[in-house]
Each structure stands twice: as C-alpha cells, then as structure tokens.
C-alpha cells in the first residue's frame, strides 16, 4: 500500500544560527561549514537506495530565502528543469538521479516574521520585554513577535500548505496498491527552524501551545507521513528506513 511522506529540511548553518540570532527576513548565506554539512546530508540521505528517493518526489516547496535555496542546491537531487532562481553558489557535478518534481518557491513556508526581534537572541528579547513592561518569559509559540507575526498568522499560512499537500499530492495515491504505474507522492520542503517545527505541529493538528517541543538542527531532516495508509491519520515519522529495491 502507498503511504507518501513529507520531508522537512532545515537550511544549513549560518553565522546567525550559530550565535542564536533570530533570522526571519534577513537574507544571509550559509557558512562554509554549513555548506559542507548539507553536502554530506545529500550524499547520505538522497538516492535510489536512500531515505529521500528523487524519482519518488512529486513536488518540492522551497522558502524564498537564499539560505534555503542554497541548501536545496547542495542536496543535489538531479532536478530535470531549471530552478526558479539563479544559482547561489558553485554548481555541483550532476549525479545520476532522476527527479521530475517541480520546484516551487512559496511564501507559505518562509520563516516566522520576528518583527522587532529580528537579529537578536532570546536572552536579549527577554531583556527588551522587561524594559517594555512585558512579561519577560517569552514563548514564541504563544506570544508571537512584537511587530511581526503572531501564532494565528503562522497557523493560517501553514494550514493552507498542509491542505494543499494532502489534497493535491497525497490523497490521490494514499492507500492505493503499489505498482510500477503508481505516480510519485513524496513531498520535500526546504525552509527554516521555527516554521518547519510549526509545520510539523499543524500536520498532526496540534496548536502551537499544545506542544510537544520539537528540535530541528541546521541542515537536519525530519519526516511526516500517515498511520494505517490513511490520509485522515497524519503522523510524525520518528524513524524512516532507507528504500531498497526488491
């Protein structure tokens, strides 16, 4: 039976992710080490006998930020069509992957808009809030960001994307018998730390305030899917096996 998946890939390391600064609209590049680690992730997890099988991808969503787009480039999926942006760095040698999925840049998966908290760390945010007479114990999942997005704003755009993935890419094939004629159904999303963690919560119908707390390291990969081959039973896949041909 066919049970498609969604792969969540956080962009690689940047100078701000290293220092803990909140990076929403600011467009900064990956560090050299960040690029190196993403390349290693691609070699380890992308391929016909790997976790992410390029020919099984039906669609790819990428954030408008160049750090996410460069991360996608470095995964080296072997995309057939030109990318919808100019290359952000040295092009990698083509690998014998076969991926016909379309790459779409969407604002729905851009990072949380941090507003007044852009470019500063959590301790600095708490200090600022105390001086403003606001509760110093700040929690983005319940408080949102002054001058930026609140949780309801973020939920609205993520729910729109979740529904699109379910109805357009997953519902037509979920639970159907597998065969050589089954169209690809996996979806790849390349974006950012807070927004991908928020996406995972909305995938399983949880409000941000309900938790649990998820972590996604820079350059890390997460997986979502369904229980019992049923699109009405979304689940977080804690451990996904590599694909091996019979």
Identify whether 192 is a catalytic site residue. Answer: no
Q: Which residues contact 68 (CB under 8 A, 6 or more apart)?
A: 11, 62, 190, 191, 192
Cα 1 → chain centroid: 26
Q: Which of 11, 59, 170, 194 is catalytic?
A: 11
Identify whether 180 is a catalytic site residue. Answer: no
Exposure string over 211-241, b if 16+ CB within 10 A, otherwise e: eeeeebebbbbbbbbbeeeebeebebbeebe
d(CA 184, CA 216): 26
- Pairing of β 57-62 and β 186-191: parallel
Partners of 52 in the β-ladder: 46
Q: Which of 35, 111, 118, 149 is catalytic?
A: 111
Token look-up 């992308």 returns: 46
Among 194, 239, 234, 233, which residue's Cα sits nearest to residue 214? 194
Count Cα atoms within 13 angstroms, Cβ side, for 152: 0
CA dihedral 214→241→33→80, nearest 10 degrees, is -110
Tell me the catalytic residues: 11, 111
């Amino acid at each position: 039976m066919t049970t498609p998946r969604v792969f969540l890939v956080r962009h690689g390391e940047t100078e701000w992710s290293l220092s803990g600064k909140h990076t929403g609209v600011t467009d900064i590049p990956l560090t050299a080490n960040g690029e190196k680690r993403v390349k290693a992730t691609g070699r380890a997890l992308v391929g016909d006998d790997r976790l992410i099988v390029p020919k099984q991808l039906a669609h790819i969503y990428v954030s408008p930020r160049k750090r996410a787009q460069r991360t996608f480039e470095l995964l080296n999926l072997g995309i057939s069509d030109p990318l919808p942006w100019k290359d952000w760095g040295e092009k990698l040698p083509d690998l014998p992957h076969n991926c016909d999925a379309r790459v779409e840049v969407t604002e729905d998966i851009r990072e949380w808009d941090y507003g007044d908290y852009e470019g500063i760390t959590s301790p600095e945010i708490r200090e600022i809030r105390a001086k403003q007479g606001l509760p110093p114990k700040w929690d983005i999942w319940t408080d949102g960001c002054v001058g930026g997005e609140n949780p309801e704003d973020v939920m609205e755009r993520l729910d729109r994307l979740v529904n699109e993935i379910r109805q357009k890419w997953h519902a037509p094939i979920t639970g159907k018998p597998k065969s050589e004629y089954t169209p690809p159904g996996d979806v790849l999303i390349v974006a950012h730390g807070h927004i991908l963690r928020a996406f995972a919560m909305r995938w399983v119908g949880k409000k941000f305030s309900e938790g649990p707390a998820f972590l996604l390291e820079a350059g890390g990969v997460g997986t979502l899917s369904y229980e019992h081959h049923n699109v009405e039973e979304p689940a977080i896949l804690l451990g996904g096996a590599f694909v091996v041909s019979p």
